Amino acid sequence: MDLFTSSTLLTLLMLITPIMASSTNLYKNSNYQHYVKNMTLSAFIISLIPMTMFIHTNQEMLISNWHWITIHTFKLTLSFKMDYFSLMFMPVALFITWSIMEFSMWYMHSDPNINQFFKYLLIFLITMLILVTANNLFQLLVGWEGVGIMSFLLIGWWFGRTDANTAALQAILYNRIGDIGFLLSMAWFLSNTNSWDLQQIFVLSQNPSNLPLMGLTLAAAGKSAQFGLHPWLPSAMEGPTPVSALLHSSTMVVAGVFLLIRFSPLMENNKPIQTMMLSLGALTTLFTAICALTQNDIKKIIAFSTSSQLGLMMVTVGLNQPHLAFLHICTHAFFKAMLFLCSGSIIHNLNNEQDIRKMGGLYKILPFTTTALITGCLALTGVPFLTGFYSKDPIIEAATSSYTNAWALLLTLIATSLTAVYSTRIIFYTLLEQPRFSPLMNINETNPALINPIKRLLVGSIFAGFILSNNMPPMTTPLMTMPLHLKLTALMVTTLGFIIALEINTYSKNLKYPHLSNFTNFSTLLGYFPTIMHRLPPHLILTMGQKLATSLLDLTWTEIILPKTMTSIQLKASLLTSNQKGLIKLYFLSFLITMTLVMLLFNYPE
């Protein structure tokens, strides 16, 4: 084994050690957190080795370890695929996890189960890496389900609160609906290509039918909170802020888009599927951006922002640009995690206040957090030469200059400007103006466990885009020339969004609307989607089930069909046959005429 292989496997194995250490005494004292954090740091540094080697030599690798099972001609092994996507994603994920673990040493400091929290975060990280490096669909499913389960456990961390339990269950249910699509495509691939290995699938089914691709799209929609399966993501903000930062902004929710990126060779030539993904992504991005405009919980605004960016990633996959989507995954992870950490800092400092209507004036009080928040928002909106610019701008350029659905493009542009609007809203309400919180707050940001992670991610938010896009080997032909107005589209809509938002926010100091308008209601109630969909379909399906069991089965099939019908038929027939009127002359006459006619017709047929 050479350095490539050994460093990859070492990265993965190192992360398992603290899990095994949890059965020892180390688990009981407070050094466990440092242990886990340092292990993650070491794993990050070691994972830089394969990444650098890949950038240098452009050699992909496939590690196939353990032959697990063979059923007839189907062979299942434990295999890791280290290619462009997984090698680039691993350091990014490990870096962010390291920062978040250090942050949660400050955030969850007073929690008695803090060691268990770290263990859960680590298990989540391991399953995420399994997902990313999987070479066959079974291993991917292991990782997929693993991140789902850890999401459940971590969202329901404060399980004494019913809202948290409901949110965790909601996450599981929506993910399960996506899993139906995943299993469907697994079954299709197994029966049509006799393998779950990615290499064999790509060779044997160059143009698969729409069924497995729809299944994969459904799986991505479930995991990445696309429209229709999106309500779980804002509800998942019931979990602690580190959980939101790790799972629901950077790593878990991108698993769906990652799956589509993995299978992008199958979707290159399938225009209908691409159009479907494009439309779904465009709808998601605009809808969640609209919902983010009127939320009052800071974490929910950032959650909807995540959802909007996921829609944008789906749009990119729908434009047949998987590498741009992957770049956006990596860059988005940096500034979104940082936004969540800043919001965690604000929340803890304001004594667990999450409503932005009761924050304000933190500009001078929390200078470092303010800096990070503003930089993060600017990176999110795609201000030139920050991180977001290097991925978002090429996406918009690719969208405007490709032969694509104009409606989807329009929606995406509107959503881009709305991104600027809600970012301005966050900044305005939390940082600017006069303070709206109680004066007796104990606010400080001197703890290095808080500052260092945000510092690192801040550096990442500013420079990571530049570094990543210059070091990633180009896989597709970049578009070099386009008209000036197309080039400036993203910038112009963003600027427009900023200006409008600033205007309206300053209005809110002087004007007050007497009653809520319908549009505000639509946006605040998340488009009425949870209200309708969480009540009506279950009610209909359960009543249908009850009616099927009792009315149809019990009553109709076993009682009415045979016994009662028979009874009524016999009654009617008996009444018919035994009630006669004695019209003798009529009977005889009809008999005579019939006989005469019959004899004549049959004997003289002409």
Which chain residues interact with another protein by CB under 8 A?
570-571, 573-580, 582, 584, 587-588, 591, 595, 599, 602-603
Rounded Cα distance between 416 and 312, Å, is 9
State the nearest-atom distance from the C-beta of 578 to another protein, in Å: 4
State the nearest-atom distance from the C-beta of 605 to another protein, in Å: 12
3-state secondary structure labels for all residues of 252-299: CCHHHHHHHHHCHHHHCCCHHHHHHHHHHHHHHHHHHHHHHCCCCEHH
Token pair belonging to 312: 């944008």
Q: Answer yes or no: are the C-beta atoms of 123 and 93 closer than 8 Å.
A: no
State the nearest-atom distance from the C-beta of 589 to another protein, in Å: 12
Of the two residues 57 and 580, which places its CB atom closer to another protein in the complex?
A: 580
State the nearest-atom distance from the C-beta of 191 to another protein, in Å: 44
State the nearest-atom distance from the C-beta of 172 to another protein, in Å: 56
Of the two residues 470 and 579, which places its CB atom closer to another protein in the complex?
A: 579
Rounded Cα distance between 229 and 288, Å, is 12
Nearest to 76 by CA among 130, 12, 140: 140
Nearest to 153 by CA among 182, 110, 179, 123: 123
Rounded Cα distance between 163 and 170, Å, is 10
State the nearest-atom distance from the C-beta of 577 to another protein, in Å: 4
State the nearest-atom distance from the C-beta of 68 to another protein, in Å: 58
State the nearest-atom distance from the C-beta of 573 to another protein, in Å: 4
Of the two residues 467 and 571, which places its CB atom closer to another protein in the complex?
A: 571
Of the two residues 557 and 587, which places its CB atom closer to another protein in the complex?
A: 587
Task: Report CA dihedral (560, 563, 567, 570) to the nearest 10 degrees.
Answer: 120
State the nearest-atom distance from the C-beta of 565 to another protein, in Å: 15
Rounded Cα distance between 114 and 87, Å, is 31
Rounded Cα distance between 472 and 468, Å, is 6
State the nearest-atom distance from the C-beta of 603 to another protein, in Å: 6
Burial 269-306 (b: 16+ CB within 10 A, else e): ebeebbebbbbbbbbbbbbbbbbbbbbeebbbbbbbbb
Token pair belonging to 48: 């830089």
State the nearest-atom distance from the C-beta of 279 to another protein, in Å: 59
State the nearest-atom distance from the C-beta of 592 to another protein, in Å: 9
State the nearest-atom distance from the C-beta of 556 to another protein, in Å: 23
Cα-based angle 221, 226, 231 (whole degrees, multiple of 5): 110
Query: Biggest alpha carbon distance in the chain?
Result: 121
Token pair belonging to 284: 């998601």
Q: 10-16: list long-range contacts, CB under 8 Å, 24+ apart.
A: 10/46, 11/43, 11/46, 11/47, 11/50, 11/90, 11/94, 11/129, 12/80, 12/126, 12/129, 12/133, 14/39, 14/42, 14/43, 14/46, 15/39, 15/40, 15/43, 15/122, 15/125, 15/126, 15/129, 16/126
Rounded Cα distance between 552 and 558, Å, is 9
State the nearest-atom distance from the C-beta of 229 to another protein, in Å: 56
Q: Answer yes or no: are the C-beta atoms of 268 and 320 closer than 8 Å.
A: yes
| Phi, psi (rounded to 5 degrees) for 75 | -120, 135
Residue position matching structure tokens 């109709």: 556
Of the two residues 73 and 579, which places its CB atom closer to another protein in the complex?
A: 579
Q: Answer yes or no: are the C-beta atoms of 344 and 245 closer than 8 Å.
A: yes
Token pair belonging to 369: 């957090």
Beta bridge partners of 484: none
Nearest to 98 by CA among 150, 44, 51: 44
Rounded Cα distance between 366 and 538, Å, is 47
Rounded Cα distance between 104 and 361, Å, is 25
Rounded Cα distance between 539 and 522, Å, is 23
Of the two residues 203 and 571, which places its CB atom closer to another protein in the complex?
A: 571
Of the two residues 271 and 572, which places its CB atom closer to another protein in the complex?
A: 572
Task: Report CA dihedral (566, 568, 573, 575) to the nearest 10 degrees.
Answer: 150
State the nearest-atom distance from the C-beta of 558 to another protein, in Å: 21
